[in-house]
Amino acid sequence: MKPSARMQAAIELLDEIIASSREGGAAADTVIARYFKSRRYAGSKDRRAVRELVYRAIRRSGERPASGRAAMLGLADAAPELAALFDGSPHGPAPADAEEEPALASAAPDWLRDQFDPLIDDAELAAMLGRAPLDLRVNRLEGSRDEALVAFPEAERARLSPIGLRLPDGFQVEATDAWRTGLVEVQDEGSQLLSLACRAEAGMTVLDLCAGAGGKTLALAAEMGDRGRIVAADTDRARLSRMVPRLERAGVSIVETRLLDPGRERAALADLGGTADIVLVDAPCSGTGTWRRNPELRWRLTPERLDRLVSLQARLLDIAAELLRPGGHLVYAVCSLLEAEGRGQAAAFAGRHSGFVSEVPDMAGGRRSGEGALLSPAHDGTDGFFVARWRAPC
């Protein structure tokens, strides 16, 4: 493909990604994969170059752009080599018209700018749009970090997580024996740190209330030495089923998955009432802490959606509180850097449950934020997370 044809492909893809974000459809990565499936003429270099252009344009636009062309014209504003590709050639984009309005550059949508945790400044906002590193968690059930370093000589030890490794960009982890045999899992260092902050131990009963495909479940099972019981619950059948092969690969046997009906979680979890040593609520959230990986999430969030998420988080926290044994621990986590989902949510919980004692999570890295702690891309080099921890009344 000629450079101008790559530019046209990026514009078409952006149109699809914009529509998908408006309609709650597939994520950008999925849209890109589908696009190239039906365009076999595009070689791997073309795909890489188009993808790179698409993500540069997404990162530049905090607000959802009017069109792919507007997004690309905005990007081309400060890049003459890109502007030159609007050349009207047969497969390239038409020349820019003086009347056309390029998309404006911004880090976040306007309505969201004053909603961040007070610790999030302009440097943090910029880092939230950088590139995420490739992190691995070493599965202590299968070996040590030193053993994993032998398997991955190109890796370095993670700065904060004692079970983390950091690999160069683009490394094909899933093609390695170490991954196939369960010695490592791909997991952001922040997720590792908050899993460790749960302080799960062998023999405990642990409920992972929003377990998804099991990223934290696997980490908790390893901390427990695969001894005790973990109930991994979620309302999403597809995610829960993706956990099963991961458990097998990691050599984990103590996890039972449980599919919940949205709105009827209490009934499905009633047998655990008053028995759990730890309940982890890794709640559904805005994902603002993962913009490095999914920058188009900025185009999907609305004030109404944020309100719905905050209510759901509060409801899940209240359910979790009923399932703990006296003196058990509740851990709340969100991959969000918004105040309402983080310290605001934690303060509201504390107001509703005065018997619960707040314990600032014992975690490498992070900064105190209200009742909890905040991990962030600029300060910690991790995805953004808010984590809070309480002890249930005895």
Ligand X SMILES: C[S@@+](CC[C@H](N)C(=O)[O-])C[C@H]1O[C@@H](n2cnc3c(N)ncnc32)[C@H](O)[C@@H]1O
Per-residue contact string for residues 239-278; x = within reach of ligand X by CB under 6 A: x--------------------x-x--x-------------
Q: How far is the CB of 248 from ligand X (least distance, A)?
A: 17
Segment contacting ligand X (CB under 6 A): 103-111, 213-221, 250-258, 364-372?
213-221
Residue 29 annotated as binding site: no
Within 13 Å and on the Cβ side, how many CA atoms surround 35? 26
- Whose structure tokens read 């062998």? 202
Residue 282 annotated as binding site: yes
Q: How far is the CB of 219 from ligand X (least distance, A)?
A: 8
Measured from the Cβ of residue 248, the count of other Cβ atoms closer than 10 Å reads: 11
SS (H, E, C) the chain: CCHHHHHHHHHHHHHHHHHHHHHCCCCHHHHHHHHHHCCCCCCHHHHHHHHHHHHHHHHHCCCCCCCHHHHHHHHHHCCHHHHCCCCCCCCCCCCCCCCCCCCCCCCCCHHHCCCECCCCCHHHHHHCCCCCCEEEEECCCCCCHHHHHHHCCCCEECCCCCCEEEECCCCCHHHCHHHHCCCEEECCHHHHHHHHCCCCCCCCEEEECCCCCCHHHHHHHHHCCCCCEEEEEECCHHHHHHHHHHHHHHCCCCEEEEECCCCCHHHHHHHHCCCEEEEEEECCCCCHHHCCCCHHHHHCCCHHHHHHHHHHHHHHHHHHHHHEEEEEEEEEEECCCECCCCHHHHHHHHHHCCCCEECCCCCCCCEEECCEEEECHHHHCCCCEEEEEEECCC
Judged by CB under 6 A, the residue of 109, 133, 212, 344 near ligand X is 212
Output the CA angle 103-56-118, nearest 5 degrees. Answer: 80
Residue 4 vs 257, nearer CB to ligand X: 257
Segment contacting ligand X (CB under 6 A): 47-55, 71-79, 203-211, 354-362?
203-211
Instruction: Give the count of residues interacting with ligand X (CB under 6 A).
Output: 18
- Whose structure tokens read 């696009």? 35
| Of 30, 79, 100, 82, the residue nearest 296 (C-alpha) | 30
Catalytic residues: 335
Q: Does 341 bind ligand X (CB under 6 A)?
A: no
Q: How far is the CB of 55 from ligand X (least distance, A)?
A: 22
Q: Does 12 bind ligand X (CB under 6 A)?
A: no
The tokens describing 229, both together, are: 């019981």
Residue 138 vs 209, nearer CB to ligand X: 209
* AA letter at 83: A
Q: Does 293 bind ligand X (CB under 6 A)?
A: no
Q: How far is the CB of 162 from ligand X (least distance, A)?
A: 19
Judged by CB under 6 A, the residue of 207, 211, 224, 297 near ligand X is 211
Per-residue contact string for residues 307-326; x = within reach of ligand X by CB under 6 A: ---------x----------
Residue 46 vs 296, nearer CB to ligand X: 296
Segment contacting ligand X (CB under 6 A): 64-72, 128-136, 138-146, 229-237?
229-237
Residue 177 annotated as binding site: no
Q: Does 188 bind ligand X (CB under 6 A)?
A: no
Q: Does 229 bind ligand X (CB under 6 A)?
A: no
Q: How far is the CB of 217 from ligand X (least distance, A)?
A: 7
The residues near 52 (Cβ < 8 Å, ≥ 6 apart) are none
Residue 144 vs 241, nearer CB to ligand X: 241
Residue 192 vs 205, nearer CB to ligand X: 192
Judged by CB under 6 A, the residue of 47, 59, 64, 216 near ligand X is 216
Q: Does 186 bind ligand X (CB under 6 A)?
A: no
* AA letter at 355: G
Judged by CB under 6 A, the residue of 226, 234, 341, 371 near ligand X is 234
Segment contacting ligand X (CB under 6 A): 16-24, 154-162, 211-219, 347-355?
211-219
Q: Does 72 bind ligand X (CB under 6 A)?
A: no
The residue ranges that bind ligand X (CB under 6 A) are 209-213, 215-216, 233-236, 239, 260, 262, 265, 282, 284, 316
Binding residue numbers for S-adenosyl-L-methionine: 234, 261, 282
Binding residue numbers: 234, 261, 282
